[in-house]
Homo-oligomer: A and B are copies of this chain.
């Protein structure tokens, strides 16, 4: 039996190698590749993807999993080996539901739609994108049809990013959040400030040095990670000891230091997965929401906190004398925490960000249910956006066309961004209950104990458990709960607005 298990592990390790190679090729394409390399690179990535997929959905894996059923029951549920069999069986059963032709069609349509979307966004030309959006929706409906046993069709899409999560649950969480957020934003979003200094200049070499200074204090180390430049920042990994963070710098924008903290959060999660899970399908963060909870925790709960800036602000002023040499800490702190409705999701503040997401979540359900005529989507977007955020949308470029996700059929992903925000505070409250002096540590520039707690309690688990089981192990309940996040926003932003 142990021989069959070793066979399964070897097979899965090979698939994992292919997946990691694919991830590195993507990183290289985004960060290093000369422009001429694009066309063959696409073939290379597609080939690795197809081979990995074929190897995974093979009958061979099914036969091994069947043969290992009894062995799994003998093992401790919490053991790496039982978790590997359990998680692989679930992944395999799901992957087998989708015919290879449909999977390939979705990938192909996404690749085709990407350039069209980019052109449509650049030219504010929704009709150009419309046929591709229609096709993406049609394909996603066929994808949903491959599955049974869901409460709502959208459950199938959510499950791809947040295994086991139900639409009804997200709806409840977002309803709770919206009910609190809309009035809160109406109240504090009107407080204006003199933030003109935020336009810099912020010399880019100093941005790079300061980004590194911050994330090194979080645990980033060049022995296992890099920080490079790209157009759309992301974090990737070729192994737990080979983490690739990316960022971007603009002379008139200091967002980069938050980008670095955000991507560092993703990277520390991947780095912290137990070494015993290396080269297995468990060697990853467990879900999109849990992953985002870590990028958001480091970026927002740590990086936009008062104790953090009490430590860093003097050296920050010294690093950027022209921009903030004569700006006092309070003014800077208010500027980086300013709540102000804006059009672009990725530039939104901590609070209004969630309204962008809730809007996408609602529209995605209606699109999948077919209750929206896609031709009218821009009008519906604009009306709903103004209702939630209080500002009129000037163009589709700044509206429904702003995000890439739908071009690739990525319906179901958006909600995990806000779920990540929410979970980040559930986890934060738990850490603080166990380490009450964390803020004192931040004042001293010490983040090691926080990192260690997160590593032990969350990162090391990888994909051993479901997201719900994982959350329960970390915070004591499997349920995502908006209340702590609302408390956190009210406390922090309310105080800033009142002061």
Whether A205 is near chain B, meaning CB under 8 Å from some CB there, is: no
Interface residues in A217-257 (C-beta closer than 8 Å to B): 222-226, 238-239, 241-243
Q: Which one, A41-49, A319-327, A353-361, A410-418, is touching chain B?
A: A41-49
Contact with B along A259-286 (1 / 0, CB 8 A): 0000000000000000000110000000
- Write the A28-67 contact mask toward B (1 if CB under 8 angstroms, else 0): 1000111111011101101110110000000000000000
- A44 engages B32 (CB within 8 Å): no
Does A482 interact with chain B (Cβ within 8 Å)? no
Of B24, B28, B48, the residue contacting A18 (CB under 8 A) is: B48
Tell yes or no: A170 within 8 A of B by CB.
no
Residue numbers in B under 8 Å from A39 (CB-CB): 239, 241
| A20 at the B interface (CB under 8 A) | yes
Is A17 an interface residue, CB under 8 A from the partner?
A: yes
A13 interface residue (CB < 8 Å to B) = yes
- In the bound complex, residues from chain B placing their C-beta under 8 Å from that of A34 are 222-226, 241-243
Task: Please give the distance in Å from A171's CB to the nearest CB on chain B.
Answer: 40
For A223, list chain B residues within 8 Å (CB).
34-36
Q: Scan residues 466-487 of chain A and give those whose CB is less than 8 A from a CB of chain B.
A: none
Contact B36–A21 (Cβ < 8 Å): no
What is the bound-complex CA distance between A327 and B410, given in angstroms?
Answer: 64
B278 in contact with A242 (CB, 8 Å): no
A14: Cβ under 8 A from any B Cβ: yes
Chain B: CB-nearest residue to A14: B47
A393 within 8 A of B: no
Q: Is A297 an interface residue (CB 8 A)?
A: no
**A25 at interface (Cβ–Cβ under 8 A)?**
yes
A279 CB to nearest B CB, Å: 6
> Could you tell me if B17 and A44 are in contact, using CB atoms closer than 8 angstroms?
yes
Residues of B within 8 A of A48 (CB): 17-18, 21
A-B contact pairs, 10 of them (CB 8 A): A17-B47, A21-B21, A24-B25, A28-B28, A33-B238, A35-B224, A37-B224, A40-B239, A41-B238, A51-B51
